[in-house]
Structure 1
Amino acid sequence: MFKDRLIQLRKNKKLTQEQMAEKIGIHRGTYANYERGHRQPDYDTLLKIADFFEVTVDYLLRGEEHYKELASEINKRPDTRYAAIDGHDFEDEEKDEILVNALKQIDGLEKIIKEHLEKKSNERNK
C-alpha cells in the first residue's frame, strides 16, 4: 500500500514526519494523514515525494509487486526472447529480475524526459 511504502521510504532516510513534510512543502498533519491512509496526495505532491525519494510515481502507488507480476506475464509470452551474452543462458529467475529492472527504468524515463525539457526551456529563457 501507498502508506506503507511512504513510511518505509521516510524511515530509510531517518526523517521525522515533520522533516519530511518540510522537504516537500506541506503541513506535518497533512503528511501524517498520508501515512495513516486518511488522505491521498494530489498529483503535484505525489511527484515531489517521488522525486525526493528518487522513485517513480508508479512504484509509490503500486509497489514492487506490480513489476514482478508484469514481468511474469511478459515472460510467459512465447515471443519473449532473451539474447545470450557471451554464451550465458539465463535462468527463469534471472529473466524475471532483468525484466523487473528494465520495467523500473522505463518508468523512470518520465522523470528523465521532464528534466530534459526543463533544462531545454531554461536554456531558451537565458
Structure 2
Amino acid sequence: MLGDRLRELRESRKLTQDQLAEVLGISRGTYAHYEINKRKPDYDMLIKIADYYNVSTDYLLRGVDQKEQDNSLTEEAKKILNDPKTFIAARDGEVTDEIVQAALEIIVEQLKEGRKKKSD
C-alpha cells in the first residue's frame, strides 16, 4: 500500500518523519497519517513526494514503476509476435489493448530498422 512504500522510501534515505514533513512543507502528524494509511495525500502532494524520491506516482500508488510495466508489456508483445495462437490460448483469449499497442510499436521499430538497413 501507499503508506508502506512511503515508509520504505523514507527509511531508505534514513530520514525521520519530522525531516521529511519539513521538506514537504506539512506537519509530521499529516505525514505520519500517510504512512499508516489513515490519510491520502492530494495530487499535488503525491507529485511532490514522487519528485522528491525520483519515482513515479504509479510506483507510489501501485508499486509499479513505469519502466517495469513497459518492459512487461514489451515481453508480452514479443510473445504475441513469436506465436500468437499459443499466446492467446494461454491467456484464455484475453489480450489487452496495451499488449497489442506494444506489439504494434515493436513492429513499427522493426520496419524502421529494416528501411534504415536498406538505405545504407
Q: Which category describes the TM-score, using the shorter chain as reference length?
A: 0.5 to 0.7
Deviation at 1:65, TM superposition (A): 7.7
Name the structure 1 match of 2:60: 60
Ranges of 4+ aligned residues in structure 1 off by more than 6 Å: none
Query: What's the TM-score, normalizing by structure 1?
Result: 0.56
Name the structure 1 match of 2:92: none
Q: CA RMSD in A?
A: 2.2
Deviation at 1:75, TM superposition (A): 2.0
Structure 1's 63 and 32: CA in aligned 2 closer, same or farther, altered over 3 A?
same
Question: Given the alignment of the two structures, is residue 51 of structure 1 paired with residue 73 of structure 2, yes or no?
Answer: no
Name the structure 1 match of 2:81: 79
**Aligned-partner Cα distance in 2 for 1:76–1:57:** 23
**Aligned-partner Cα distance in 2 for 1:26–1:18:** 9
- Equivalent residues, number: 80
Structure 1's 72 and 51: CA in aligned 2 closer, same or farther, altered over 3 A?
closer
**Cα contact 2:21–2:28 (8 A) shared by 1:** yes
In percent, how many aligned pairs have the same letter?
Answer: 50
Q: What letter is aligned with 1:23? A: V
- Structure 2: 5+ residue runs without aligned partners? 83-120
**Aligned-partner Cα distance in 2 for 1:18–1:47:** 19
Secondary structure at the residue paired with 1:30?
helix
**Aligned-partner Cα distance in 2 for 1:7–1:15:** 10
Deviation at 1:70, TM superposition (A): 6.3
Q: What letter is aligned with 1:45? A: M
Name the structure 2 match of 1:38: 38
Question: Given the alignment of the two structures, is residue 29 of structure 1 paired with residue 29 of structure 2, yes or no?
Answer: yes
**Aligned-partner Cα distance in 1 for 2:6–2:20:** 10
**Aligned-partner Cα distance in 2 for 1:69–1:55:** 13
